Structure 1
């Protein structure tokens, strides 16, 4: 089985619609794909409809924006009940603040000499929740940077960069508990991605494990071999599972869907922990 547990659609900052993502997963030879848009489940219904008759299994999920000790981090949540009120309220709070933050970042970019506009960013985002990748695409359109990745530097949109503006982000221990209370399974996304900015300490990861974290996403484009080895050792020490995922965003990133995958036994162990929802078989 080929299993990719981290992918985005136009419901957040990917370039494939949920239906296009399903078609891409089939074309990539995947058996299982997770739809994990940022702080939203808006793409789930379309993806669930598109998966019918494909033979592919869809894992409904989301990627949550968190912060601890001034460091931003992301938590993947799988197979939770999307209607559970406390978790739904927190996702809505984060999404609402994304809008405020997006406008503030665009204004900072303009102050720094980038000829972009909020209307341009909204056009790029379409129906999705505006995020920094949409603003990065606007910087590419304006000729300020050559690629989306080049926008995520200290000069522009990286955490703490000249144009960065902080948004509401959930305390990760709280997020883990919210996911578990909604019947879901929490996994720490790309915990060693130093190119994105500061990363949390091993002690923070231990605290998350004590709160109910299920796994670390280890095999990821942003982790070198040394980082992966360290994370595998830490996971073993803390009794956590380890996953692998592409973090696919369509054409907004160079990584291919299914480029990194999760062991089938790990996938089954994660599914066994879920009580909020079930994978959707096509």
Structure 2
């Protein structure tokens, strides 16, 4: 089976509606895809409807943006959690609200130097979507200020830019605890992706494992080969699941559906462990 457990729709920073994402998964000959929008489960219903129609398996999930006390970004994938769990819902709502405020402040700063306003950014945000820097990047591209998202992030939207504004994100240990409390399966996304910025020290991995972390996303284009070897060794030592995924964003990134995949027995273990939501398996 071809299983891709990390993909985004326009409910967060992907470029396709959830149904179109499932259709793309079908066209890529995936048997199963996971919808893992940032801090949102709003696309689950549409994706499930398309999955039933097209005969594609669907694992409902979410990617939670976290931050360590040292300010290092950590992304946590949550599979098959209860989307109505009060503790988890409260935390991701807090994050979504902070992202919106942060985006508005960044656009205010950008408007001092570029012909850009909030309406320009809003035009690229789907109803109910989690607002993020990619939407600002899309507005910059549409205005002819940047050639594409990559150029926008490499210059204007980098964390070192004067336009950058930080936002609230939960500690990854807390996020792991909340996902487990919601009956979900937490997996550390692209854990050693040094090309994205600083990566966490080994003690953070162990703190997350002690809190209930169950897996590591090892096969991801942003994890370097030596990092993947270290992750596999850690997974063996701690009895963690190993996943592989594309981190697909439609036209927003070059990542292709199915470029990395997860073994069937790992998915079976995820499904057997989760108690919050159900996967759709045609």
Q: Could you tell me the TM-score, scaled by structure 1's length? A: 0.95
Which stretches in structure 1 are left out of the alignment for 5+ residues? Answer: none
Which stretches in structure 2 are left out of the alignment for 5+ residues? Answer: none
Q: Give the superposed CA RMSD.
A: 1.4
Assess, with a 3 A threshold, how the Cα gap between structure 1 residues 133 and 21 changes in structure 2: closer, same or farther.
same
Aligned to 2:28: 28
Distance in 2 (CA, whole Å) between partners of 1:240 and 1:55 is: 30
Distance in 2 (CA, whole Å) between partners of 1:202 and 1:150 is: 32
Deviates more, 1:69-78 or 1:264-273: 264-273
Quote the offset at 1:8 in angstroms: 0.6
Does residue 266 (structure 1) correspond to residue 252 (structure 2)? The answer is no
Aligned to 1:190: 190
The Cα offsets for residues 128-169 of structure 1, whole Å up to 9 and x where unpaired, read as 22111111112222333322122223x322334432211110
Runs of 4+ in 1 over 4 A off after TM superposition: none
The Cα offsets for residues 148-201 of structure 1, whole Å up to 9 and x where unpaired, read as 122223x32233443221111011111000000000000111111112211111
Distance in 2 (CA, whole Å) between partners of 1:275 and 1:166 is: 34
Aligned to 2:6: 6
Distance in 2 (CA, whole Å) between partners of 1:53 and 1:47 is: 10
The Cα offsets for residues 186-238 of structure 1, whole Å up to 9 and x where unpaired, read as 01111111122111111101110111101111111212212212222222223
Q: Could you tell me the TM-score, scaled by structure 2's length? A: 0.95
Do the aligned partners of 1:158 and 1:197 also contact (CA within 8 Å) in 2? no
The Cα offsets for residues 80-124 of structure 1, whole Å up to 9 and x where unpaired, read as 01111111111111111111011111122233x332221111101
Distance in 2 (CA, whole Å) between partners of 1:66 and 1:92 is: 13
Aligned to 2:16: 16
Assess, with a 3 A threshold, how the Cα gap between structure 1 residues 194 and 158 changes in structure 2: closer, same or farther.
farther
Report the 3-state secondary structure (helix = DSSP H, G, I; strand = E; otherwise coil) of the residue aligned with 2:74. Answer: strand
Equivalences for residues 7-86 of structure 1 within 5 A: 7-68=7-68, 69-86=70-87
Distance in 1 (CA, whole Å) between partners of 2:206 and 2:239 is: 10
